[in-house]
Amino acid sequence: MSEVIHTIEQMKEFSKKAILAQKSIGFVPTMGYLHEGHLSLIQKARSQNDIVVVSIFVNPLQFAPNEDFNTYPRDFEKDRILCEQNGVDVIFYPGYEEMYPQSYQTYVEVSFLSKPLEGKSRPTHFKGVTTIVLKLFNIIKPTRAYFGKKDAQQLIIIKKMVEDLNLDVEIVPCEIKRDADGLALSSRNVYLNAKERSQAICLKKALDKAKELIDAKIYDSQTIIQNMKNVINSYDLARIDYISINSTDCLSELKEVVLGKTLISLAVFFGKTRLIDNMWI
């Protein structure tokens, strides 16, 4: 049975006891509506720790007013069952008032890394992410925390926050899980209608094109990006937000791909639905 905890006080009490008993805590932060991508993080946490805690919290702070906070898919009962089936010990499921009481006023921001890529389209997003993740780390006190490479910039930013603020948690990166046709799993994929869903594979197709060029020793970023654009533009419902080639350490734009140090990432709209994907070279 997964225990469901709603309050910060009870969650802290649980972690305190676990730490006193010298148990390691693996933590998987999520916004719920769990899919195989989330489950792969949970399974990794399960294999590496004595205790697994999953948080489910659709964090209002990381959504801009024009974004999908209200419509973001939620299904706690299904999530609870999936957690149970995957050996989760505790589901931390706090309410909004619990995490952000009316008097709330403290934020944490990883300044430069939060600006490019996703930060350009979503200027307040990562401040919301780092604030909630730091709060969750302080409440749960995990030994290890699991983050998907699907949200590459988020992973890089969280690692930087942990380094800069000297947090005692190991950040474990996890591979991207995909549907059979290559579309990266995401809770937001449910927004896609059938035609959009069939075209949503263009993100992976564009990344495959980039990989093909790099394998042929073509490293020029502009050439790679132009080829990726051509792939996406051959799908009539897709609208490119950005395609970018950046260094994995400081996220600066690269003129040329550097093997082992490059992130190729893109965001594409299908109607109002914004999908992201990436590849670590």
Residues that are catalytic: 38
Interface with ligand AMP includes 128 (CB under 6 A)?
A: no
Tokens read off for 120? 């350009």
Interface with ligand AMP includes 187 (CB under 6 A)?
A: yes
Report d(CA 255, CA 215) in Å as an integer: 17
For ligand AMP, the closer of residues 158 and 231 by Cβ is 158
Letters for 132-151 (x = contact with ligand AMP by CB under 6 A, - = none) are ---------------xx-xx
Letters for 20-59 (x = contact with ligand AMP by CB under 6 A, - = none) are ----------xx-----xx-xx------------------
Instruction: Note the maximum CA span of the chain.
Output: 58
Size of the site for ligand AMP (CB under 6 A): 17
Interface with ligand AMP includes 207 (CB under 6 A)?
A: no
Inter-residue contact 177 to 40 (CB < 8 Å): yes
Minimal CA–CA distance to 201: which of 177, 220, 182, 228?
182
In 3-state terms, what secondary structure has residue 65? coil
Interface with ligand AMP includes 174 (CB under 6 A)?
A: yes
Q: Classify each residue of 118-148 as buried b or exposed e, where b means 16 or more C-beta atoms within 10 Å of its C-beta.
A: bbeebebbbbbbbbbbbbbbebbbbbbbbbb
Letters for 249-268 (x = contact with ligand AMP by CB under 6 A, - = none) are --------------------
Chain contacts with ligand AMP (rule: CB under 6 A): 30-31, 37-38, 40-41, 147-148, 150-151, 174, 176-177, 184-187
